[in-house]
Amino acid sequence: MKFTKYLMLTATVSTLLYSCGGDAKHKEQTEEVVSTETDNKAWYTEEYTTKDEDGFRWKTERFSDIKIVKYQINGFDKLTLNQKQLVYFLSQAGYAGRDIIWDQNYRHNLTIRRALENIITNYSGDKASDDWTKFMVYTKRVWFANGIHHHYSMDKFEPAFSKEYFASLMADTKTELADDIIEVIFNPEIDNKKVSLDASKDMLLASASNFYGPDVTQKEAEDFYAAKMDKSDATPISYGLNSQLVKTENGLEERVWKSGGMYGEAIDQITMWLGKAVEVAENTAQADALKLLIEYYNTGDLKTWDAYNIAWVKATEGDIDYINSFIEVYNDPLGYRGSYETVIQMNDFEASERMAVVANNAQWFEDNSTIMDEHKKKKVVGVTYKVVEVAAESGDASPSTPIGVNLPNANWIRATHGSKSVSLGSVINGYSKAGSSGMLDEFCYTAKEKEMEEEHGGIGDKMHTSLHEVIGHASGQINPGVGTPKETLKNYASTLEEARADLVGLYYLMDPKLVEMGLVSSLDVGKTAYDGYIRNGLLTQLIRLKKGAIIEEAHMRNRQLNAAWAMEKGAADNVIEKVTKDGKTFFVVNDYDKLRTIFGDLLRLIQKIKSEGDYEAGKNLVENYGVQVDQAIHAEVLERAEKLNNAPYGGFINPKLVPEMNEAGEITNIQVTYPDDFAEQMLDYAKNYSFLPNKN
């Protein structure tokens, strides 16, 4: 499971220097901006040229609703040569599979991407025109999303340039693209949603993602897996995780993602680099886990995937770790298939030691939870938590990245063998360096609320991420014989799981135990987090939606569900109050202790739904509280946010690792460089890591 970054409401573009006591010091920075602004925000573009006082340019550019940021790899120079090589080999393995996420997201993505890249590489015409700017912004949006659908809303991008202009670019650069694919780009009615969670539709036929053949229906897929699953199996494999389900003359069949199978050309490159990583592994446990991952890629055997995850969870020694393979299932409407992603990371020793207290007290958190006793784990095992420096990301983790990850996803492995949680410290730091300006002034009800956010918001956000990942996803258990959440809760499983993990974090953020543990300075941190969560769940996250839209993304659904349910249940005591001031809407928390009790009640309810596999109760909860949007408030929020001209989404340029070689061809050192240009990095990736054909 991954924790996504919600809107950062910092008062200025600032650096937040966190201490475990919760202090936040602000260093203001003035930006020099070169911009091309039009009435059409779809092709709004800016470049940022100002460097921080340390000489580093954190935020490089803005296009449409996206800002591009960089992150640093602190401490890389302190690694041994073997460790540097391990990081390099793992990063190369990650990039080698980059094409996979593009094809997973949509069957025509690779064809379209390569056409766009060919135009950029070979066009010698007027690059100062508005049309060229519109074309470049469209291409950058496609690069950022790993395809032609928005990475968050899932809506297909609409080009701001004409079909005629695109035809002229193709002619000038000798770019070939079939008429039906050109029609896909310009016709808003064709494959317009990457992932649809609209329960009133056939979710597979309404989704453009390439996990299923375009003619496979939801019922056919559900029946296919229902016939395979045994709910009495206490250690079920992750059915469908690493395959595409298609219709053949023999009926439904899985095209497995493995060497010699679907995506085999890229997978062979991945395993080649993983093999090099084995040779420089830090210890035997780490090497053995890597060998199992290679075996899984070679065979596609899901039992080997489970064996790998168990070995990976137990490989806790060493300074280097990684995430690699087909993992998160958010892009599958039915929650079976894993998107390709990789994260390569180094331990941040000081921060990890400080935050390890959360993992070390996992049993206390479980025992003192509000969930029913029969749903609590009697023994929480193998929970680890580290703050890490990210060295490379690829696939579904890049350019848009999570800020925290807890794996593996299989409930039985987590219960029996444990889990690993990481907080991506360097990514969080990069976000804070490039925070949005003016949001607190606009959406905080009082000056005191803003002051609290500035003082405690950073550590509160950090603690919520920790509790969400380490305690939230590791807590609770499913009743024997019920089956996995993707079987029982189906398309609502991801939303309910994220809501549950959020609620665990929220409940404990107001617990004096955190002060006793030295994790926060006072309960003001929890109060600030409550203010921010309600403000985001009911107001500011709506910035990410188009007018008239409903909420379909799982994390957004979970945040509105938790906030809206709490507001309704606390109405009699005015726990959360809707206030209008100067014609603007605010939601104000009046009683933090009662709100904590409400969060605990909802946590108990959602855990009961998950433990018992109660689909109807889960559906009702999500549909009634997490999906529909108050359109009047939405229109107001969009109007208030527009004047701030902030990008609601952020993503990262990866550092580039460059090996230094001696005359014998041996690596003698790895240098870290920091590219300045998003387009340059994307074209470099296209040149060096394109291993799949257009059609797979």
Nearby residues of 68 by Cβ (< 8 Å), 6 or more positions away = 59, 60, 61, 62, 399, 650, 651, 652, 653, 678
Q: Is residue 281 part of a domain?
A: yes
CA nearest neighbour of 10 among 32, 21, 25, 22:
25
- pLDDT at position 76 is 94
| Token pair recorded at residue 206 | 């309404």
CA dihedral 376→380→386→390, nearest 10 degrees, is -70
Q: What is the largest CA-CA distance in the chain?
A: 77
Q: Is residue 233 part of a domain?
A: no
Q: Is residue 342 part of a domain?
A: yes
Omega prior to 399 cis, within 30 of 0: yes
199-205, Cβ contacts within 8 angstroms, sequence gap of 24 or more: 199/491, 199/619, 199/623, 203/333, 203/334, 203/491, 204/333, 204/334
Q: Is residue 547 part of a domain?
A: yes
Cα–Cα distance measured from residue 295 to residue 316, given in angstroms and rounded to the nearest whole number: 21
In the chain the first and final C-alpha atoms are separated, in Å, by 27
Q: Is residue 79 part of a domain?
A: no
CA nearest neighbour of 229 among 497, 620, 613:
613
Total domain count for the chain? 1
CA nearest neighbour of 263 among 367, 373, 340:
340
By three-state DSSP, how is residue 241 classified? coil
Q: Which stretches does DSSP call E strand in 257-403?
A: 320-326, 340-347, 383-395
Q: Is residue 510 part of a domain?
A: yes
Q: Is residue 30 part of a domain?
A: no
- pLDDT at position 174 is 98
Rg (CA), the chain: 24
Q: Is residue 325 part of a domain?
A: yes
- pLDDT at position 8 is 38
- pLDDT at position 595 is 98
Which run of H or E residues covers position 498?
Answer: helix 493-509
pLDDT tens readout for residues 163-198: 999 999 999 999 999 999 999 999 999 999 999 998
Range of the domain at 544: 2-8+260-649
Which run of H or E residues covers position 528?
Answer: helix 524-538
| Token pair recorded at residue 50 | 């100002």
pTM of the model: 0.85
Using a 10 angstrom Cβ sphere, with 0-12 exposed, 13-18 middle and 19 or more buried, the burial of residue 557 is: buried
- CATH number, domain at 471? 3.30.540.30
Q: How many CB atoms within 10 Å of residue 51? A: 12
pLDDT tens readout for residues 332-349: 999 999 999 999 999 987
pLDDT tens readout for residues 346-397: 998 777 787 788 989 999 999 999 999 999 999 988 788 888 999 999 999 9
Low-confidence ranges of the chain (pLDDT < 70): 1-41, 53, 435-437
Task: Name the DSSP letter for residue 251.
Answer: E
Residues facing residue 584 across a β-bridge: 581
